[in-house]
């Protein structure tokens, strides 16, 4: 191998290694978790609130372009097609301009008297929350639980499913549940908004679980309404999260809750959703001035 060849070969390899190296660094990871959701950092909170409480309620509206749920191709598993022939997407479910499946929760704020909401502790409910697989869909599509609250996962279908939550702060797991198999009980130990759940056998199946240290959350119903009861008087940031894209879209709002009062917090979502990571657009930086119209 002569000198010129060696130089050429080494340069070629170095350039390629540099390209790989540059690709490994500098990347940003976008998650749809909210580490501070519901005072996630308040693991040592022991004070319980036992005073008068108020309510936060509201309506989630949708003012974007009309959304027609997309039909899902279930041909990969005939049982799904028989059980649910009209299976459609649940990402944006709008009825008379009102939006369902929006997760609304108290994100942060101060209780009257100055203490942070994260400084208070709530008892974990003894009852489990059910997540069912029926008609090759998760039901409910969006739900909330408290940290360490049991989630009972059932399979009502005549086919086997595979439950696979993909949290960022909690341990990830993946379990198969056969036909008629006993419920699977699981918990999440860290607050996280929201944990996506998928089925790797039926990739259209999705659910989202909001995990909080407090019970101050709700999911909007078919008519877009929600209600969060038992909120200590104070000023809070209430956030509404809607599914869409890779990370969903979250809208915050400041509300003040009074004892025995009801604070209104109405949210409106449009067609655009935040997907977290920017996509590489079709040559976004290249413009041709000579072709542009003045």
Among 98, 169, 202, 214, binds other proteins (CB under 8 A): 202
In sequence order, the 6+-apart residues with CB closer than 8 A to the CB of 201 are 77, 160, 161, 162
In sequence order, the 6+-apart residues with CB closer than 8 A to the CB of 107 are 34, 36, 37, 38, 236, 237, 238, 239, 252
- Phi first, then psi, for residue 71 (nearest 5°) are -70, 140
Q: How buried is residue 102: exposed, middle or buried, by Cβ count under 10 Å (0-12/13-18/19+)? A: buried
Output the smallest distance, CB 27 to other proteins, in A. 5
Among 137, 149, 160, 170, binds other proteins (CB under 8 A): 160
Q: Which stretch binds other proteins (CB under 8 A): 14-22, 40-48, 218-226, 233-241?
A: 14-22
Q: Which is nearer to other proteins, 80 or 253 (CB)?
A: 80
Among 174, 223, 254, 260, binds other proteins (CB under 8 A): 174
In sequence order, the 6+-apart residues with CB closer than 8 A to the CB of 139 are 131, 132, 133
By CB under 8 A, tell whether 1 contacts other proteins.
Answer: yes
* Residues near other proteins (CB under 8 A), total: 51
By CB under 8 A, tell whether 181 contacts other proteins.
Answer: no
Among 204, 217, 236, 267, binds other proteins (CB under 8 A): 204
Q: Which stretch binds other proteins (CB under 8 A): 38-46, 111-119, 124-132, 168-176?
A: 168-176
By CB under 8 A, tell whether 3 contacts other proteins.
Answer: no
In the stretch 53-72, what mask flags binding to other proteins with x, by CB under 8 A? -----------------x-x
Output the smallest distance, CB 284 to other proteins, in A. 10
Choose among 85, 60, 63, 62: nearest CA to 72.
85
Output the smallest distance, CB 291 to other proteins, in A. 22
Q: Could you tell me the CA-to-CA distances from 38 to 100, 170, 216, 290 in Å, in that order?
A: 22, 15, 8, 54
DSSP 44-76: T--B---S--EEEEEEEEE-SS--PPPBP--TT
Q: Which is nearer to other proteins, 34 or 273 (CB)?
A: 273
By CB under 8 A, tell whether 283 contacts other proteins.
Answer: no
Taking a C-beta distance cutoff of 8 angstroms, is the pair 102, 228 a contact?
no
As a whole number of angstroms, the distance between CA 135 and CA 159 comes to 10
Binding site for other proteins (CB under 8 A): 1-2, 4-5, 8-9, 12-13, 15-17, 19-20, 22-24, 26-27, 70, 72-73, 76-80, 89, 91, 159-160, 162, 164, 172-176, 178, 200-204, 245-246, 275-280
């Amino acid at each position: 191998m002569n000198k010129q060849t060696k130089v050429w070969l080494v340069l070629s390899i170095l350039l390629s290694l540099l390209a790989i190296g540059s690709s490994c660094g500098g990347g940003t990871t976008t998650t749809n978790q909210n580490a501070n959701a519901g005072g996630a950092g308040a693991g040592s909170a022991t004070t319980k609130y036992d005073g008068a409480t108020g309510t936060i309620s509201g309506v989630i509206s949708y003012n974007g372009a009309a959304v027609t749920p997309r039909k899902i191709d279930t041909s990969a598993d005939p049982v799904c097609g028989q059980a649910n022939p009209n299976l459609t997407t649940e990402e944006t479910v709008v009825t008379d301009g009102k939006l369902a499946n929006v997760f609304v929760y108290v994100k942060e704020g101060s209780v009257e008297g100055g203490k942070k909401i994260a400084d208070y502790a709530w008892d974990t409910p003894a009852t489990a929350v059910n997540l069912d697989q029926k008609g090759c869909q998760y039901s409910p599509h969006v739900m909330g639980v408290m940290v360490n609250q049991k989630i009972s996962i059932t399979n009502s279908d005549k086919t086997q499913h595979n439950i696979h939550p993909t949290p960022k702060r909690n341990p990830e797991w993946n379990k198969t549940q056969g036909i008629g198999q006993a419920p699977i009980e699981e918990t999440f130990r860290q607050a996280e908004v929201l944990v996506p759940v998928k089925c790797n056998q039926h990739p259209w199946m999705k659910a989202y679980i909001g995990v909080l240290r407090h019970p101050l959350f709700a999911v909007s119903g078919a008519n877009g309404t929600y209600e969060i009861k038992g909120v200590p008087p104070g000023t809070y940031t209430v956030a509404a999260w809607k599914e869409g894209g890779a990370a969903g879209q979250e809208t915050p709002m400041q509300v003040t809750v009074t004892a025995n009062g009801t604070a209104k917090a109405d949210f409106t979502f449009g067609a655009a959703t935040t997907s977290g990571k920017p996509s590489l657009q079709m040559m976004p930086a290249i413009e041709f001035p000579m072709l542009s119209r003045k």
